[in-house]
């Protein structure tokens, strides 16, 4: 059993119905949180996941709409008496800053803090991030304002695969990462430096020959504009949907 739950689908300016983009992969052995915003405990509880059960945390890049919740997640885990290790993955740029941020909170003085293993990922395409019985995760550098990774999940049980672009301009690295996946989750913030429009997301989905395209990290609430699905369909023949908070993609 493995499923991916969208915990947030908004770009950086979130709204009451759409939290900043983050998601969780729930497997039998590993529960992998991808980015961590606000206080993630509540969104996780609404999705039926106890935050204490998270085994791994992937940080795609060091922007506040992707990592602002990490200090509070770690603090809440500590206050609830966590003893087991948590793995935190990211590029050197990201992990160095996260360690500095926790240093600003003087976490070395939090008594009996549980073990945290930081994993610094190389900025190379399809580098192995996590390999377990149920799935394998690899990361590739993408093109955003700061060093950022996209992710690919391959599920062993059924040979299905999913890729997530994270924040990026349209780039060949995402097309290669998402090659032949069943589902590509691609950002659609709009055509701007370091971001993509829905139409550009459609181009990448077509290049990757992805089975389905799910648009994420798009303007929500009062900033909603245009018909993103129609824009993506101009360049991609497959099924297109908007990711919404608590949408679940089942890979069992
Ligand atoms: Zn960003």
The pLDDT tens digits of the residues spanning 110-147 come to 999 999 999 999 999 999 999 999 999 999 999 999 99
- CA of 217 relative to ligand 1 center, distance in Å: 10
pLDDT at 21 over 80: yes
Nearest to 176 by CA among 239, 138, 126, 212: 126
Q: CB of 135 within 8 A of CB of 156? A: yes
Q: CB of 68 within 8 A of CB of 74? A: no
Q: How many other β-carbons are positioned within 10 Å of the β-carbon of residue 31?
A: 19
> Torsion angle, CA of 233/238/241/243, rounded to 10 degrees?
-120
Indicate the SS3 state at residue 96: helix
- CA of 61 relative to ligand 1 center, distance in Å: 7
- CA of 195 relative to ligand 1 center, distance in Å: 8
- CA of 45 relative to ligand 1 center, distance in Å: 25
Confidence (pTM): 0.96
pLDDT of residue 79: 97
pLDDT at 220 over 90: no
- CA of 75 relative to ligand 1 center, distance in Å: 24
Round to whole Å and give the CA distance between 10 and 147: 21
- CA of 63 relative to ligand 1 center, distance in Å: 5
Indicate the SS3 state at residue 163: strand
What would the pLDDT profile of 184-200 be if each residue is shown by its tens digit? Answer: 999 999 999 999 999 99
Round to whole Å and give the CA distance between 69 and 123: 24
What's the angle, vertex CA 197, arms to CA 193 and CA 198, rounded to 5?
160
Q: CB of 17 within 8 A of CB of 245? A: yes
What would the pLDDT profile of 50-105 be if each residue is shown by its tens digit? Answer: 999 999 999 999 999 999 999 999 999 999 999 999 999 999 999 999 999 999 99
pLDDT of residue 178: 98
pLDDT of residue 145: 96
- CA of 109 relative to ligand 1 center, distance in Å: 31
Residue 252 — very low, low, confident or very high, per pLDDT cuts 50/70/90? confident
- CA of 251 relative to ligand 1 center, distance in Å: 27
- CA of 35 relative to ligand 1 center, distance in Å: 11
- CA of 104 relative to ligand 1 center, distance in Å: 22
Residue 182 — very low, low, confident or very high, per pLDDT cuts 50/70/90? very high
What's the angle, vertex CA 9, arms to CA 33 and CA 62, rounded to 5?
55
- Longest alpha-carbon distance in the chain: 56
Please state, rounded to an integer, the average pLDDT across all residues of the chain: 96
């Amino acid at each position: 059993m493995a499923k991916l739950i969208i915990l947030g689908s908004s770009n950086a300016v979130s709204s009451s119905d759409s939290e900043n983009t983050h998601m969780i992969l729930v497997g039998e052995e590993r529960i992998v949180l991808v980015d961590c915003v606000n206080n993630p405990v509540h969104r996780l509880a609404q999705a039926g996941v106890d935050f204490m059960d998270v085994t791994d945390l992937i940080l795609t890049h060091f922007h506040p709409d992707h990592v602002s919740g990490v200090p509070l997640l770690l603090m809440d885990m500590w206050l609830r008496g966590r003893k087991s290790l948590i793995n935190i993955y990211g590029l050197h740029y990201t992990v160095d800053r996260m360690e500095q941020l926790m240093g600003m909170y003087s976490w070395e003085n939090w008594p009996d803090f549980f073990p945290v293993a930081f994993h610094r990922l190389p900025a190379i395409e399809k580098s192995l991030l996590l390999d377990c019985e149920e799935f394998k995760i690899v990361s590739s550098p993408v093109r955003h304002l700061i060093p950022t990774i996209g992710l690919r999940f391959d599920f062993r049980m059924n040979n299905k695969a999913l890729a997530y672009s994270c924040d990026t301009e349209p780039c060949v690295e995402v097309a290669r990462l998402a090659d032949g996946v069943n589902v590509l989750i691609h950002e659609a913030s709009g055509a701007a430096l370091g971001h993509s429009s829905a139409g550009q997301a459609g181009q990448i989905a077509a290049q990757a020959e992805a089975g389905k395209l799910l648009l994420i990290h798009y303007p929500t609430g009062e900033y909603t504009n245009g018909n993103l699905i129609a824009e993506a369909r101009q360049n991609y023949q497959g099924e297109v949907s908007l990711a919404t908070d608590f949408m679940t993609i089942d890979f069992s």
